[in-house]
Amino acid sequence: MYDTIVVGAGVAGCVLAGELARRGNKKVLVIEKRNHIAGNCYDEYDEYGIMVHVYGPHIFHTEYERVYEYLSQYTEWYEFGHEVHANVHGNIINVPFNLNTLHKVYDEEKAARLENKLVSSYGMDSRVPILTLKENEDPEVREVAEYVYENIFLRYTMKQWGKKPEEIDPNVTARVPVVISRDNRYFKDKYQGMPLQGYTAMFEKILDHDNIEVQTGTAAEELLTIKDDRIYYEGEVFDGPVIYTGLADELFGYEYGHLPYRSLKFKFEHYKKESFQGCSVVNYTVDEDYTRITEFKYLTGQVNTPETTIVKEYPEAYNGENTPYYSINNPDNDGVYAKYKAKADRIPNLYLLGRLAEYKYYNIDAIALRSLELADSLVRGSE
């Protein structure tokens, strides 16, 4: 019945299935454990008519023209330059720390003096790691680096990753930038925006093809088994490509143990007023147990609605019951993953694709590009 089986209907699975069905003329079965498509990008209207991102905010941005043009076949865009603010002891500042932030943190005379020092030392529109600033001979410049480290990076990272200060990799700290610019946009990519009708609607269009069958609410193990380096579909050997986007350790029955992740807990709140915080995202880098608050109407352009919905994010450990979001990459964990990858490599028609299957972080555009390139390879291989 099927030429290809795709496990998972997130970004990776949807893009790949759509391409194989259209360009490759393949009959594709998409199996999705959740009761909906679009993975963590899934969005829907809440009971108050506000479109919300159920698994936290997802903002599209890319330099990859191919990805932008591909997705633009299935959506129009709401042009949106994402800005992030941080609440530091009640003071709302711009993140990453830039020249505008400088003037919110320091008095006008000191801010002007520091701005001149930063511009003359590093040049306008540069991104300077705080480690570089800490090595500057000027104590006032070093003070800026210390402020960023203590108030924007350190405690936020402790909350996000459940770490103590001494457990935070200094190599990560070194990359935290101060931006010598007045551009408040968080991303600098050429293409930035949100699917006008939402991510779910976009992925529904990608999967809307006669060659594609989607089964939601279906776990992969209900239909697929692996034995002696062969894949079986409903008890019969399946020799076509199987693209797996789920947890690598789950695929192989946790033979080498569980791969650790960080998870998130979301608390949605609705307010009968026009705005809660006046912008899309505020990070809580010092105080509060949550790491950020997202007000969705500013992400999606629904700014004329008389009421508003927000979500607070609380980081937590992945326990097997909640959702795995971020792989915890270190030599030990990567070594365990390598064992699962070696098992997968012994199965010639199995392809691991995506954040969970590859145990690494991808932005939306990067995994879409990966999926397009894998589709290129599979289509060429079948010609």
pLDDT in tens, 6-33: 999 999 999 999 999 999 999 999 999 9
**What per-residue confidence (pLDDT) applies to 379?**
96
Give which of 312, 302, 294, 313 is closest to 274, Cα–Cα. Answer: 302
* Residue 61, strand partner residues: 192
Q: How far apart are CA 383 and CA 378, in angstroms?
A: 9
The mean pLDDT value for 278-282 works out to 96
pLDDT at 343 over 80: yes
- Grade residue 102 by pLDDT with cuts at 50, 70 and 90: very high
Nearest-Å Rg of the Cα atoms of the chain is 23
* CATH number for domain 4-81+193-258+329-382, candidates 3.40.640.10, 3.10.50.30, 3.40.50.720, 3.40.47.10: 3.40.50.720
Mean pLDDT of the residues in the chain = 96
**What per-residue confidence (pLDDT) applies to 169?**
79
**What per-residue confidence (pLDDT) applies to 218?**
97
pLDDT at 114 over 90: yes
pLDDT at 173 over 90: no
| Whole-number percent of the chain with pLDDT over 70 | 99
Whether the upstream peptide bond of residue 331 has omega within 30° of 0, thus cis, is no
Q: Where in the chain is the domain with CATH 3.40.50.720?
A: 4-81+193-258+329-382
Q: Locate 202 and state its tokens.
A: 């976009």
pLDDT at 170 over 80: no
**Angle of helix 11-22 versus helix 199-207 axis, rounded to 10:** 30
The strands making up 4-7's β-sheet, listed across from edge to edge, are 212-216, 28-32, 4-7, 242-244, 350-352
The mean pLDDT value for 75-85 works out to 95
pLDDT at 229 over 70: yes
Give the amino acid at 28. V
Which 3 state secondary structure label does DSSP give 357?
helix
Q: How many Cβ atoms from other residues are within 10 Å of residue 381's Cβ? A: 9
Q: What is the pTM of this model?
A: 0.95
Asked if residues 295 and 329 have their Cβ atoms less than 8 Å apart, the reply is no
Phi, psi (degrees; rounded to nearest 5) at 153: -95, -55
**E strand or H helix that includes residue 308:** strand 308-317
